[in-house]
A and B are shown apart, each in its own frame.
Chain A
């Protein structure tokens, strides 16, 4: 079966290499957590996959589509949700979804049905006609997520989706993500909350200095570190401090 995402020798250099020959594969229907310390290259990687940044070299294949040769084709099946919600303050959630559905050319009847269902699912139905400018951060994040789901993407890319959310909203978002994975979608997310990755992810990748340090299920990662690795935090800190030592 074709992988949902394959990155081969992906490189992006700003002043220093942000992503440095990254090789990564994400299987279809899995929830993949990409972890790494600040500045590891997570966001740069995801922005390249979403078509927002052009890599200096390497390739990106999304469900077999060469995302660099056919960016429009790849974007049709991708959704990108950054930590800062991509919203318009003066639009209502319903109008926002109308706009996003138009951008992805979703059939109007299906778009309206999905919009209603997503807004109800995320607890925004009552606020559907209020402008987003008065929303809390959690409400904004939920409206943006509804926008990411409106075209039923096969690959969802989320950069720190739980940042700044309270426990109840975070639970709603996690439930939504898991329901999408169960429905067959593939999810890649970055997070600094290691418990989220520990509980939700099928596989975890740890990157540092733009390179993949380790990858696997939680058990596989634990084995990498030996007997004293109890939690993902232990494994993460052990691997990234070793990575630092190598860099130094």
Chain B
């Protein structure tokens, strides 16, 4: 362990060691295939770096205005994405605490302990984004020149600045809305940032102007001289190209933001963390008349699951955000119909079906795998099939409520498309739910977004089956017979994944 005991490098060493062990344990739990998929992913990213390298080697990017604009916009987008992660991480640190009590009760300065803790958050952000871009950048740099490795330094600067900003936002939320709501608000805000980026990217399409996507639009506008970015907007591009002055300026600025936030707010964070632990949970009390004792496990299960779903603000925000992603699809559908574009309608129908399957899968995962008291259900004199029926009914009810209006509208406007889309959405939702029953694995509700605990092949199969059904729906909406092969393929995958009650029981006992 490097550094003297109690020093910042020593603490950071422990943080990294624990993070590494967590990562290895997670991968080991998923078996060899997970490592293999990681290697395949890295290979793909390396391969993608080749065309990027060729592109970069053929252009003179140093002072290119379109390049300046697009790079600055890209850096801002990465910053926002990292900020959303940092905000959630800061709020989690306040509540999950982990080893905060141990650190704060030790003679190590709380400021130092927190600075290290947030440095590890920054490192985590850097590595998680670096995993996507790092391999691609390395292979691109081999072709276009090693100066482009400056992009890695730019990413590090963005990670540090985003962590500092996330810390400031978390503390601000804590002060404005109080300790208990901060975590939920942070989770929602984090998700909203992601959604806002998505909507911004789709804005041109939603508004009906242009067909080339926002990056191309930006590029064209800058090339035509319609955009006049300030001088500092060129810093990210220069830093990416290995300009030491630009890189130093950005890294220096990021370090100032990070250190300023962690040192200035560190003391407050210590106090807030203590307050978060001691804060009473104040929830709106439920009324006695809302409690309805009824005989039968099925009804009891449906009511319990619906209550838990509706009381989970963070979860609801995630589900609604996925629905939000349907908005561009819906607008596209309407616009395409108005303009008589026959191909766009089946494409949009496929999008609706795919999202229905994904939302159903997530809700099924929450109700089945993220059960909080599995032993209670296992000890109850209730058949597993009754429990599953109750859980699935609860999981699919919110989806049905959300989909019924849009599907009815589509059916009214284009009966065949509406019928096929309804059929496809139902099939995708049922398939995702079944996969989640057959391949359930205990998880925690808080892990909803990543569905940690799910087997990689179950998640892959869920996406593939939904994709195939979406494809079948699109072809069905076009009225072609070619809808049948993808439908049969989806059915085939489902048959391969099928497990009986005994097999599910054995798998659960093994976990």
**CB nearest neighbor in A for B506:** A54
Which of chain B's residues have a CB closer than 8 A to the CB of A131?
281, 283, 286, 311
Tell me the minimal C-beta distance from A157 to chain B in angstroms: 9
Which of chain A's residues have a CB closer than 8 A to the CB of B312?
90
A107 to B293 alpha-carbon distance, docked (Å): 8
The listed residue (A82, A107, A133) touching B283 by CB distance below 8 A is A133
The listed residue (B280, B287, B295, B376) touching A100 by CB distance below 8 A is B376
Binary A-proximity of B367-402 (CB < 8 A = 1, otherwise 0):
000001101111111110000000000000000000
Binary A-proximity of B270-303 (CB < 8 A = 1, otherwise 0):
0000000000111101111011111111011101
**CB nearest neighbor in B for A112:** B293
Which of chain A's residues have a CB closer than 8 A to the CB of B338?
none
Task: Let me know if A95 and B280 touch, CB within 8 A.
Answer: no
Task: Let me know if A88 and B304 touch, CB within 8 A.
Answer: yes
The listed residue (A53, A87, A101) touching B373 by CB distance below 8 A is A87
Which of chain B's residues have a CB closer than 8 A to the CB of A112?
293
**CB nearest neighbor in A for B308:** A90
Looking at A87, A90, A106, A109, which has the most chain B CB atoms within 10 Å of its CB?
A: A90
The listed residue (B285, B295, B304, B373) touching A106 by CB distance below 8 A is B295
Task: Let me know if A133 and B281 touch, CB within 8 A.
Answer: yes
**CB nearest neighbor in B for A116:** B288
Number of A-B contacts (CB under 8 A): 117
Known contacts: A88-B308, A98-B300. The answer to whether A134 contacts B383 by CB under 8 A is: no
A96 to B102 alpha-carbon distance, docked (Å): 34
Task: Let me know if B297 and A105 touch, CB within 8 A.
Answer: yes
- At the interface, yes or no: A174 with Cβ under 8 Å from chain B? no
Which of chain A's residues have a CB closer than 8 A to the CB of B382?
72, 103
Tell me the minimal C-beta distance from A65 to chain B in angstroms: 11
Which of chain B's residues have a CB closer than 8 A to the CB of A111?
293, 295
Task: Let me know if B281 and A95 touch, CB within 8 A.
Answer: no
**CB nearest neighbor in B for A51:** B379
A78 to B383 alpha-carbon distance, docked (Å): 16
- At the interface, yes or no: B21 with Cβ under 8 Å from chain A? no
Task: Let me know if B295 and A99 touch, CB within 8 A.
Answer: no
Binary B-proximity of A121-145 (CB < 8 A = 1, otherwise 0):
0000000111101100000000000
The listed residue (B294, B296, B308, B380) touching A91 by CB distance below 8 A is B308
Tell me the minimal C-beta distance from A232 to chain B in angstroms: 29
Interface pairs (21), CB distance under 8 Å? A52-B375, A72-B382, A75-B380, A80-B375, A87-B373, A88-B372, A94-B288, A95-B286, A98-B292, A98-B303, A99-B301, A100-B376, A102-B293, A102-B300, A103-B297, A103-B380, A106-B293, A111-B293, A129-B286, A129-B288, A130-B285
